Amino acid sequence: MSRAYRIRISESLRRHIAVDDGIQSKLEILDILSPEQTAALLERELQAAGFEQREDGQWFRVDEEGVEVRVDPKQSTVTVSASADRQLDLQRETVIGAVAENDAATRERGRKFLESELEAEAAERKKDLQAEVTAKLEGKLGDLRRELDQISNRVTAEALKQKAASMGEVQEISEDPETGSLTIRVRL
């Protein structure tokens, strides 16, 4: 008569997971002045908004949550990105029935089952981390949109003023902050 054995198997998985997310978009700035002049105006506004210039000419800012905003003034592109990483240390244990004490095949099956469960959990944790990063970016996007729109508007307004000054004698400038309208009277 055969005797039933219970084999306890434990597996662990240690892994470093890293996720990132990001988007790139164009700043909506009208072509009023030359690209170089527009870039100079944009750089001035970016500096006032707390951006810092890198050696490659791009301007960047990182907030307290690690969301990085990069602006290329020459191309008028803005890149928003965030990343996160986490160290996983997962452990699983199971007990399986076997017909012999040294039933290697059953032990191997149990081990593979545990491995697949650990892999699935690691994938799930990575997905959760990805969702966290995306949610963090989404949360920042609303304010960032408004800020970038304001920067674009200020650059456009300043470009219009400079263009008007180059055309003749500026007699009157009136701005309505509520509607965003700008009226420049020029004497040619």
Q: Which residues bind another protein (CB under 8 A)?
A: 21-26, 28, 78, 80, 130, 133-134, 137-138, 141-142, 144-145, 148
Q: What crossing angle do the helices spanning 104-167 and 35-48 adopt, rounded to 10°?
A: 110
Inter-residue contact 27 to 80 (CB < 8 Å): no
Q: Tell me the closest approach of the beta carbon of residue 139 to another protein, in angstroms.
A: 9
Cross-strand partners of 8? 95
Using DSSP, state whether 16 is helix, strand or coil: strand
Cα radius of gyration rounded to whole Å, the chain: 30
User: Given the complex with another protein, which of 148 and 155 has the nearer CB atom?
Assistant: 148
Helix (H) or strand (E) holding 19: strand 5-26
User: Given the complex with another protein, which of 130 and 162 has the nearer CB atom?
Assistant: 130
E strand intervals along 55-104: 59-62, 68-72, 77-98
Q: Tell me the closest approach of the beta carbon of residue 145 to another protein, in angstroms.
A: 5
Q: Tell me the closest approach of the beta carbon of residue 22 to another protein, in angstroms.
A: 6
Q: Tell me the closest approach of the beta carbon of residue 51 to another protein, in angstroms.
A: 17
User: Given the complex with another protein, which of 148 and 164 has the nearer CB atom?
Assistant: 148
What's the rounded Cα separation, in Å, for the pair 87 and 15? 6
Q: Tell me the closest approach of the beta carbon of residue 146 to another protein, in angstroms.
A: 10
User: Given the complex with another protein, which of 37 and 77 has the nearer CB atom?
Assistant: 77
User: Given the complex with another protein, which of 42 and 137 has the nearer CB atom?
Assistant: 137
